[in-house]
Amino acid sequence: MSASPPNGFLPYGRQCIDDDDIKAVSESLRGDYLTTGPKVAELEEILCQKTDAKHSVILNNGTTALHLACLAAGLKEGDVAIVPTVTFLATANGARYCGADVVFADVDPDTGLMTAETLQAALKEANGKAKAVLPVHLAGQCVDLESVKEIADRNNLKIITDTCHALGSEYSVNGKWQMAGSCAIEDLATFSFHPVKTIAMGEGGAITTNDNEVATRLKRLRHHGMQARPDIAPWVYEMPELGYNYREPDILCALGISQMKKLDKFLERRAELVALYNKHIAKLAPHALPPKIISKGKVGWHLYAARINFDALGTTRKAVMDKLKERGIGTQVHYIPVHTQQYYTGLYGKKVLEGAKTYYERTLSLPLFPTMKDEDVLYVVEQLEECLKA
DSSP 245: B
The CATH number of 19-260 is which of 3.40.50.300, 2.60.120.10, 3.30.70.360, 3.40.640.10?
Answer: 3.40.640.10
Sheet holding 130-133, edge to edge: 55-59, 205-209, 188-192, 158-162, 130-133, 80-84, 101-105
Domains 19-260 and 263-387 in one fold: no
The Cα–Cα gap between 156 and 149 comes to 10
Q: What percent of the chain has pLDDT over 90?
A: 97
Q: What percent of the chain has pLDDT over 70?
A: 99
Other residues' Cβ atoms within 10 Å of the Cβ of residue 121: 16
- The domain locations on the chain are 19-260, 263-387
CB 316 within 8 A of CB 362: no
Mean pLDDT of the chain: 97
pLDDT (mean) for 290-308: 96
Kind and range of the H or E run holding 205: strand 205-209
* Helical segments of the chain, H only: 19-29, 38-51, 62-72, 89-97, 116-126, 145-155, 212-221, 250-260, 263-281, 317-326, 342-348, 354-362, 374-387
pLDDT 10s digits, 190-226: 999 999 999 999 999 999 999 999 999 999 999 999 9
* Banded pLDDT at 1 (limits 50, 70, 90): very low
Kind and range of the H or E run holding 363: strand 363-366
CA-nearest of 385, 355, 327 to 108 is 355
- Burial letters 212-221, b for 16+ CB under 10 A, else e: eebbebbbbb
- Asked if the model's pLDDT at residue 390 lies above 90, the reply is no
pLDDT 10s digits, 243-277: 999 999 999 999 999 999 999 999 999 999 999 99
pLDDT 10s digits, 70-87: 999 999 999 999 999 999
Crossing angle between the packed helical segments 19-29 and 250-260, to the nearest 10 degrees = 150
Phi/psi class of residue 360: alpha, beta or left (left: φ > 0; alpha: ψ in -120 to 50)? alpha
Amino acid at 382: E
| H and E: helices and strands count for the chain | 13, 14
User: Which backbone phi and psi does 171 adopt, to 5 degrees?
Assistant: -135, 160
- Asked if the model's pLDDT at residue 2 lies above 60, the reply is no
User: Which backbone phi and psi does 144 adopt, to 5 degrees?
Assistant: -70, 90
Q: What is the pTM of this model?
A: 0.96
Q: Spelled out in words, what is the top-level CATH class assigned to the domain 263-387?
A: alpha beta
Tally of residues, the chain: 390
